[in-house]
Chains A and B, each alone.
Chain A
Amino acid sequence: MTHYLLRRLLGLLITLLVASLVVYLSVFLSPGSPEQVLFGSRPPSPEVQEQVRQYLGLDDNVVVRYLHWLGNVLTGDLGTSLITQQPVAQRIAGPALVTFSLVLYAGLLIVVFGVGSGLLAALRPGSTDAAVTAVTSVATALPAFVAAGLLISVFSVQLGWFPSYGLGQGTGGRLQSLTLPAVALAIIASGLVARVTRASARQELASEHVQTARMRGIGGARLVRSHVLRNAAPPVVTVLGLQVAGLVAGAVVVEQAFGLGGLGELLISSVQQKDFPVVQAIALVVVAAFALLNLAADLVVMLLDPRARAAAA
């Protein structure tokens, strides 16, 4: 188990290293430079430009710059934004909080509605199953940007229940302004999770050990809880992990649609401004969150399923 965890974390480090190199090169190769963005349409004298370039370290060799950045990151320093001169950690903290609360909110919705409707379909064959399956099939094809438009149109414009733009004040306001984005973000994943839950639960319901339990007189909630759910859970947890991890990057679409000021929006604006340290930091945070959520799901599966533990060892 410890060996497995170490191997996975090493893999994560290598991935982050490669990702940082890819991001670095892509920003380096892109046209334009940060000081042009800073100066805007009125560039100062060449001497001042040169001073600024030196101050920002833009004239150094590419490799030197990358290694310098990497060394700083390894000591916990993400650098300073080229555009706002803020420490990068400070600059991305607020947006990161927005994105992670959005992902957390959507994740809860996915667990409740995805797993819930999947179980409902598996436990009530016939018309309930058919209706739930039809709804979840459509859900798997309803992208967040389409859902966002529909939700704004109905719940913001016509009913006026939720704001259509911006992040609210205070916990209540925040929660209210994150509700529609979280719903929009959760739909596709909920549909997928529901389908996997239904398939997995049906397989367990039809299995011999559940039939044996039924014959022994175990029924109702207890049968579902300790004989069906426990065994049906591992594939569901794996898909949940993959889907929620995918939301970290996918959130950018609803962040933009609802103007929440999240990490994805900051990434797009920083890319446009060539703010390399910020782009780099956001990419690392997103890739790390993606990998860690997947790792967490795998660990939960191992806790639930001794066979997975044995396979990893």
Chain B
Amino acid sequence: MTAVAATVASTTGTTVAATARRSRLGPAAWVALGFLSIVVLAAVFAPWVAPHDPNAGDLLNAYAPPSGEHWLGTDGTGRDVASRLVYGARTSLLGPAAVVLLALLLGVPLALLSAWRGGTTAFVITRVLDVLFAIPALLLAILAVATFGVGLRSAAIALAVAYLPYVGRLALTAAETERRLPYVQALEVQGHGAVRINVRHVLRNLAPVLVGQGSVAFAYALIDLAALSFLGLAVQAPQADWGVLVSDRDAILKGHPLGVVAAGTLVVLTVLSLFVLGSRIAGEDRR
């Protein structure tokens, strides 16, 4: 959860450049940021926000319509839908956060190394990314789940590997442009070490691109992880997760789609907000 908070926090401005940009975020991006903040806060403070225990069933009260007691009604085993949505935000945000952080942790050093060394190193790294790019993310995730067992952890690790080429290629292009700038050569001539130049200077200038790309990748990771939970391969059924909640086929067929619709709406709004915010940050940066 701290990772999610960090992602959102860094988009609002931990760097000087981001603070300067804040006023130019635009109304749509502000709305998106507001919505995401609410979702993150609800996830962090789920025990206080949720009106009921998300797993407490009451079979006599199955498929209850919305009421003061149950804002969004109950599901097939009488569990409170609103509470399950609030708790579901936890896994639904934590998973993608892990995917994006891991992909960045793997991809950014590779990109910096490739841009710095060039030659054979760059060739090998580019080829590895190319091959990974050719294997669809869902295919890789299904195989990883088979190898390391069903669950959020294997699915998240597999998706991080699958997202590596997307994150890596973008970081690589940006790092290569940066590498050719005079200030990098000036620092080199002054005798600063490669690691120091990359971490203190290059990485810092790449940050806005990475944050913008990171939030878009976060949105896609949210979709893919929820899809894997929907397939029963990531988060498992009794636990609340947006993907699990959307997969409640029984409720749809019995004509009680409210919980499914609500979970689906949360997925769509969260993804849309991340897109709006991410493209805004990345778009601002290009100028």
Check B143 for interface membership: any CB of A closer than 8 A: yes
Contacts A22-B135, A290-B134: A149 and B252 contacting too (C-beta < 8 A)? Answer: yes
Contact with A along B36-67 (1 / 0, CB 8 A): 00000000000000000000000000000000
CA distance A176 to B124 in the complex (A): 48
- Could you say which residues of chain A place their CB within 8 Å of the CB of B139? 249, 267, 283, 286-287
Name which of A82-90, A93-101, A106-114, A135-143 contacts chain B. A135-143
Chain B facing A: main interface SS: helix
Q: Which residue of B lies closest to A12 (CB)?
A: B134
A290 touches B136 (CB 8 A): yes
15 A-B interface contacts by CB (under 8 A): A14-B131, A26-B147, A27-B143, A30-B146, A141-B271, A141-B272, A141-B275, A142-B268, A149-B252, A153-B260, A252-B138, A252-B231, A279-B143, A283-B143, A290-B134
Contacts of A144 in B (CB 8 A): 227
Give the total of A residues in contact with B, Cβ under 8 Å: 47
Question: Do residues B223 and A143 form an inter-chain contact, with CB atoms below 8 A?
Answer: yes
B219 touches A141 (CB 8 A): yes
Q: Does A199 contact B (CB under 8 A)?
A: no
9 pairs of A and B residues whose beta carbons are closest in the complex = A249-B136, A146-B264, A141-B272, A141-B271, A153-B257, A271-B146, A15-B134, A145-B230, A26-B147
Contact B142 A267 (CB under 8 A): yes
A141 to B231, CA, bound (A): 19
Count of A-B contacts judged by CB separation below 8 Å: 124
Q: How far is the CB of B55 from chain A (nearest CB, A)?
A: 22
A252 neighbours in B (Cβ, 8 Å): 138, 142, 231
A157 at the interface (CB under 8 A from B): yes
The CA-CA distance from A22 to B230 in the complex, in Å, is 25
A143 B267 Cβ-Cβ under 8 A: yes
List the A side residues contacting B145 at CB < 8 Å: 271
Contacts of B255 in A (CB 8 A): 157-158
CB of B207 closer than 8 Å to a CB of A? no
Residues B267 and A249 in contact, CB atoms below 8 Å apart: no
Chain B residues with CB under 8 Å of A164's CB are 252-253
A286 with B231: CB separation less than 8 A: no
Q: List residues of chain A with CB within 8 A of the CB of B268.
A: 138, 141-143, 146
A80, CB-defined interface residue at 8 Å: no
Q: Residues on A close to B: CB < 8 A?
A: 11, 14-15, 18-19, 22-23, 26-27, 29-31, 137-138, 140-146, 149-150, 152-153, 157-158, 164, 246, 248-250, 252-253, 256-257, 264, 267-268, 271-272, 279, 283, 286-287, 290-291
Chain B residue contacts of A140, Cβ below 8 A = 272, 275
Q: How far is the CA of A304 from the CA of B261 in the complex (A)?
A: 43
B243 part of interface (Cβ distance < 8 Å): yes
Contacts A149-B246, A152-B252 given: A249-B275 contact, CB under 8 Å?
no
Q: How far is the CA of A142 from the CA of B260 in the complex (A)?
A: 14
Which residues of B have CB within 8 Å of A248?
Answer: 136
What is the CB-to-nearest-CB distance from A166 to chain B, in angstroms, rounded to a whole number? 13
A9–chain B nearest beta-carbon distance, Å: 13
Chain B residues, Cβ within 8 Å of A149: 246-247, 252, 257, 260-261, 264
B5 proximal to A (CB < 8 A): no
Q: Does B226 contact A (CB under 8 A)?
A: yes
Give CA–CA (A291, B275) in the complex, Å.
Answer: 27
- Do A145 and B246 touch across chains, with their CB atoms under 8 A apart? yes
Using Cβ atoms and an 8 Å threshold, which residues of chain A touch B142? 252, 267-268, 271
Contact between chains at B135 and A157 (CB < 8 Å): no
**Contact indicator per residue, chain B 203-243, by CB within 8 Å of chain A (1) or not (0):** 00000000000000001000100110011010000000001
Interface status of B102 (Cβ within 8 A of chain A): no
Contacts of B138 in A (CB 8 A): 249-250, 252-253, 264
- CA distance in complex: A9, B168 (Å): 24
Would you list which residues of chain B between 113 and 138 have a CB under 8 Å from chain A?
130-131, 134-138
CB distance from A143 to the nearest CB of B (A): 5
In the complex, chain B residues 254-271 whose Cβ is within 8 Å of any chain A Cβ: 255, 257, 260-261, 264, 267-269, 271
The chain A residue sitting closest to B255, CB to CB, is A157
Closest Cβ of chain B to A189, distance in Å, is 13
Residue of A nearest to B247 (CB): A145
User: CA A27 – CA B85 in complex, angstroms?
Assistant: 35
Among A22, A26, A264, A283, chain B packs the most CB atoms within 10 A around the CB of: A26
Closest CB-CB distance, A271 to chain B, in whole Å? 4
Question: Is B106 interfacial (CB-CB < 8 Å)?
Answer: no
Give the chain B neighbours of A22 by CB distance below 8 A: 135, 143
Nearest-neighbor residue (CB-CB) of B245 within chain A:
A149
Interface status of B94 (Cβ within 8 A of chain A): no
**Known: A15-B134, A137-B272, A146-B264. Contact between A157 and B253, CB under 8 A?**
yes
